[in-house]
Amino acid sequence: MKILAIIASPRGMQGNTGRLLEEVLRGVTEAGAETEIISLKTLNVQPCVACDVCHKTGVCNIKDDYESIKEKMLVCDGFILASPNYIFSVTAQMKALFDRCNGLIHCMALEGKYAALVETSGGGGDDEVLTYMRRFVNTLGANAVGGVGSPMAGIRTFPDEVTLYDNSRKLGGELCCCIAEKRRFPEQEAFISDFKARMSGLVDFMKDFWPFERDYWEKNRTR
Ligand SMILES: Cc1cc2nc3c(=O)[nH]c(=O)nc-3n(C[C@H](O)[C@H](O)[C@H](O)COP(=O)(O)O)c2cc1C
């Protein structure tokens, strides 16, 4: 089982979010899965320029690291998104990646995969950011198993660390369990199913302009 962790802090794994992600990954490793960490800090993911080429060809026109990240997302069994809270949202690095995933979202190409979420903040608002990241996961067609978020207490420290780290390791283990047993999340399925009807309808409406996505849905409409 392969779990891909994507961290979007400008401090990479050296910051608070990296510290919390370490514990989630410990849970993943203890469950026997393989891990790979991608730090957006060291990669080049430019903002989307709305050229629509991905909808037409299935490949982004911007020549940077996005396509290789996309391939890793497509082949992993599960993934972890980790971001600090920047003004009630994810960092610009993570948002750039989200936007570049627009083609994957139109195809809901990660349907059947599972994700876990990690967030840290200076002083709170953690649930808002975790909810936003969960919404992104669901628009890809994937299930969000859960998330851990916390304000910091200092550099790479948190209030009530014992409980937080314990929950983080449990989340990593839970991600692997959900993948192994193909666990269902009925409350997310309702959103995913509505969103799927919307994306399928959108691509059908644009079928003369977006041949890649038209063909993708023609092959996968019955899934
Ligand atoms: C540009 C910027 C914006 C931030 N916005 C918020 C915020 O809106 N709310 C908050 O509680 N903390 C905010 N913070 C603090 C970070 O979320 C917090 O320090 C986080 O743990 C940093 O994680 P890192 O060490 O992994 O980068 C902000 C920090 C920066 C640099």
Distance CA 132, CA 201 (A): 24
- Assess if CATH 3.50.50.60 describes domain 2-220: no
Burial (Cβ within 10 Å: 0-12, 13-18, ≥19) of residue 179: buried
- Identify which of 121, 130, 132, 150 to mutate to test ligand 1's pocket (most ligand atoms within 8 A of the CB): 121
pLDDT of residue 190: 96
Residues with CB under 6 A from ligand 1: 9, 11, 15-18, 84-88, 120-125, 152
Distance CA 17, CA 148 (A): 10
**C-alpha 168 to ligand 1 mean position (Å):** 19
**C-alpha 63 to ligand 1 mean position (Å):** 29
Index of the ligand 1 atom closest to the CA of residue 152: 21
pLDDT of residue 220: 85
Q: Map out the domains of the chain as residue ranges.
A: 2-220
pLDDT of residue 223: 59
Index of the ligand 1 atom closest to the CA of residue 85: 17
Whether pTM > 0.95 for this model: the answer is yes
pLDDT of residue 222: 64
**C-alpha 17 to ligand 1 mean position (Å):** 10
List all residues 6 or more positions away from 194 whose beta carbon is below 8 Å from its beta carbon: none
Query: What is the Rg, in whole angstroms, of the alpha carbon atoms belonging to the chain?
Result: 17
Q: How many CA atoms lie within 13 A of 124 on its CB side?
A: 0
Q: Using DSSP bridges, classify how beta strands 143-151 and 114-121 pair: parallel, antiparallel or unpaired.
A: parallel
Distances (CA, A) of 164 to 23, 44, 121, 222: 9, 32, 14, 41
Q: Which residues of the chain have pLDDT under 50?
A: none
